[in-house]
């Protein structure tokens, strides 16, 4: 089968389409024929060698897949050949204190697709049956490959970690990204006031169509000043942050007293200075968020199946054109997700 592998770290030129053996499901596992695979910014970090995940060469890229079960290992119950599935990106241990208390995304010894198993930029992958999540009939493979990481992450950040309530206000950074556009939709669905920022008017216009109330162009407006203007000097209850660098401080300055900032990323600067004094005097909170639970993905699929949220596929590329797909993501041209198809 075909698999996109890297044999060294570097730019998109290091991506190789290799012919490798098909994987075989062991006990408790299934083999999935991959129909669509979502691109994530983590993939760029992995390819460049800065992900802080363990990578050994050759490494098959990709963590987010949608496809059909084509082989079922011994001892697997409840799943059939032909089931349309989207495996959870993690393979939790199911035994540690966090797994036993519904906090599987912080499992102490998790597996991850492409790190502990084959990767998603391929024609097939083997996963544990416990990772399987069913795709509703009304959601296409391409949409499914654009759902889990974007909406699951946004759900976990907004609701589980950020405790966003109806009637509260939220600032969503980088609304054009996969998780940003998902956060706009979920926060709007809940009934929050949604303020978002982006680097182009076109992305802001798209987010307004998704229900965003106010847009801020970060290239020609001061984010915190504009947020204060919109909220009559109060600031927002929650900031949905995943950018890092200067955006982190602008986010802190956009929060209300007793406001929360929830973060899951920092591509624009992973280590930042922040001013401690106004932070504690206003009783602000900074909250970390990592991945999401299988149950949260199920909830996102329920909303997608009844049209309450829309998985956004910006572009689909055949597996062979993976380099072009990654370059498009690195230029940050997309609104929503880019997927590979096979």
**Contact (CB, 8 A) for 18 and 138:** no
Minimum Å gap between C-beta 110 and Zn ion is: 6
DSSP 50-119: -SSS---SSEE--SEEEEEEEEE-TT--S--TT-EE---SEE--S-SHHHHTT-GGG-SS-EETTTTS--
| Nearer to Zn ion among residue 96 and residue 272 (C-beta) | 96
**Contact (CB, 8 A) for 81 and 70:** yes
Minimum Å gap between C-beta 90 and Zn ion is: 9
| Nearer to Zn ion among residue 55 and residue 93 (C-beta) | 93
**Contact (CB, 8 A) for 305 and 136:** yes
Minimum Å gap between C-beta 265 and Zn ion is: 23
| Nearer to Zn ion among residue 107 and residue 322 (C-beta) | 107
* Residues found near Zn ion in the complex (CB under 5 A): 92-93, 96, 99, 107
Residues, the chain, total? 342
| Nearer to Zn ion among residue 79 and residue 98 (C-beta) | 98
| Nearer to Zn ion among residue 92 and residue 180 (C-beta) | 92
Closest CA to 20 of 90, 141, 89, 119: 119
Q: How far is CA 180 from CA 4, 186, 337, in A?
A: 27, 10, 11
| Nearer to Zn ion among residue 2 and residue 103 (C-beta) | 103
Minimum Å gap between C-beta 109 and Zn ion is: 6
Widest pairwise Cα distance in the chain: 61
Q: Which residues contact 250 (CB under 8 A, 6 or more apart)?
A: 222, 223, 224
Minimum Å gap between C-beta 128 and Zn ion is: 13
C-alpha dihedral (212, 214, 217, 221), degrees to nearest 10: -160
**Contact (CB, 8 A) for 328 and 169:** no
Minimum Å gap between C-beta 97 and Zn ion is: 8
| Nearer to Zn ion among residue 96 and residue 323 (C-beta) | 96
Minimum Å gap between C-beta 285 and Zn ion is: 26
Token look-up 């097939």 returns 124
């Amino acid at each position: 089968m075909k698999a996109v592998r890297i044999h060294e770290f570097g730019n998109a030129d290091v991506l190789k389409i290799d012919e490798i053996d098909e994987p075989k499901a062991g006990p408790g596992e299934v083999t999935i024929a991959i129909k669509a695979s979502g691109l994530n910014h983590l993939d760029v970090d992995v390819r460049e060698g800065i992900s802080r995940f363990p990578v050994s060469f050759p490494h098959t890229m990709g963590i987010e897949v949608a496809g059909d079960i084509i082989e079922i290992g011994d001892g697997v119950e409840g799943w059939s050949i032909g089931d349309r599935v989207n495996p959870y990106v993690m393979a939790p241990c199911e035994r540690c204190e966090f797994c036993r208390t519904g906090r599987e995304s912080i499992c102490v010894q998790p597996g991850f697709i492409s790190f502990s198993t084959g990767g998603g930029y391929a024609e097939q992958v083997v996963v544990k049956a416990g990772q399987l999540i069913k795709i509703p009939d009304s959601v296409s493979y391409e949409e499914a490959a654009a759902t889990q990481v974007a909406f699951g992450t946004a759900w976990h950040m907004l609701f589980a970690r950020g405790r966003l309530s109806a009637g509260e206000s939220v600032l969503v950074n980088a609304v054009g990204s996969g998780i940003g556009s998902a956060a706009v939709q979920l926060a709007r669905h809940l009934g929050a006031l949604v303020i978002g920022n982006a680097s182009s008017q076109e992305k802001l216009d798209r987010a307004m169509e998704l229900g965003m109330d106010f847009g801020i162009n970060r290239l020609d407006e001061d984010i915190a000043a504009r947020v204060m203007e919109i909220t009559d000097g109060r600031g927002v209850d929650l900031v949905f942050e995943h950018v890092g660098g200067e955006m982190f401080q602008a986010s802190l300055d956009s929060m209300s007293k007793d406001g929360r900032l929830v973060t899951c990323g920092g591509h624009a600067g992973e280590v930042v200075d922040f001013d401690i004094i106004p932070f504690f005097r206003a009783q602000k909170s900074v909250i970390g968020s990592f991945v999401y639970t299988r149950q949260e993905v199920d909830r996102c699929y329920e909303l997608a199946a009844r049209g309450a949220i829309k998985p956004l596929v910006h572009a689909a590329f055949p597996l062979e054109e993976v380099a072009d797909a990654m370059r498009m993501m690195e230029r940050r041209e997309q609104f929503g997700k880019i997927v590979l198809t096979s």
